[in-house]
Each structure stands twice: as C-alpha cells, then as structure tokens.
Amino acid sequence: MADYQQFCTFHLGDLYFGVEVQKVQEVLRFQEMTAVPLAHDVVAGLINLRGQIVTAIDLRRRLALPPRTPDARPMNVVLHTDDGAISLLVDEIGDVVEVEDGLFEPPPETLRGIARELVGGVYKLEERLLLILDTEKTVDLAPAAAE
C-alpha cells in the first residue's frame, strides 16, 4: 500500500509550489501591510491577523524572481513556525493535492540560485512539476541578513 502526502499548492508565475498541509494555518486574500523600516528586503511588511501581528515574506523576492506587476495583489499562505505565524506572499492559491511518496525526487539540476536551496524536492505530476518548498529554510532570514 502506497503512502501519500498532502500539500497546499500555490503559484508564482508559471511555477507550481507546495507546502505540507499540516504546516499551513490558513490562506487569505490580500491584506493591507505595514512597512517595517530596516527589515530584510524580502519582508514585505506586517499584517494584523485578528490581533496577531504576522510578518509577510514576499516569496517572489525570496526566490529572486521578477516582481509581480504593480496592479497584482498577492495572496497570503500563513504558516505555523517555531517562531509563530509567518505569511508567504504568493501570486495565486491552488488546491490541496495528495501525491504518492514514490513520485518524490530531488530538486532538478535546472533549478539554480536560492531556489535550489529552498526547494526540498519535486513531485512529477501528469501535467507539471510540484516544487516542494522547505518552509524552515524559506522563513529563516538570519543567514541572508548576516551577509
């Protein structure tokens, strides 16, 4: 009997990403943000989530992708982390997908730069690749901030 994993999926341009469902607190439409002076350049701001202050990381900036168009409003994927909730700003929310463990592969050689460090592996689906984001590495900004 095959084992399966569930992932919350989202899009950044043509790329299709997933994070483990159990790490997701919720997904939200665009939220107004408060800028944070002197913050790491990938921090888009802070959002107020029912009284909880949550740091929003622009995943496009984190992965060194081109910026979204000025009229495009990002969506929020709010994650549980050891340090509390963190929001990842993404282009579009997908579905929850269930994939067989046997389809998991290491990141492809064509993946370059910071994306190679932040993608833990891929699942080859019928229509596209599902890139699995390593959420711990993605929200850990300390090494980049020290450079």
pLDDT at 11 over 80: yes
Question: What DSSP letter does each residue of 12-62 carry, written as one string?
Answer: ETTEEEEEEGGGEEEEES----B--TT--TTEEEEEEETTEEEEEEEHHHH
Q: How far, in Å, CA of 96 to CA of 19, rounded?
A: 10
Average pLDDT over residues 53-71: 94
Alpha carbon of residue 5 to chain centroid: 17
The CATH number that applies at residue 71 is 2.40.50.180
Q: How far, in Å, CA of 121 to CA of 134, rounded?
A: 9
Q: Which conformational region is residue 144 in: left (phi greater than 0), alpha (psi within -120 to 50 degrees), or beta?
A: alpha
Q: How far, in Å, CA of 57 to CA of 77, rounded?
A: 10
pLDDT tens digits, 75-92:
999 999 988 999 999 999
pLDDT tens digits, 130-140:
999 999 999 99
More confident residue, 16 or 127: 16
pLDDT tens digits, 89-130:
999 999 999 999 989 999 988 888 898 899 999 999 988 999
CB neighbour list of residue 36: distance below 8 Å, 6 or more residues apart: 43, 45, 46, 55
Single pTM value for the model: 0.90
Count of structural domains within the chain: 1
80: containing domain: 4-146
Give the pLDDT confidence score for residue 82 in this predicted structure: 87
pLDDT at 36 over 80: yes
Give the pLDDT confidence score for residue 143 in this predicted structure: 54
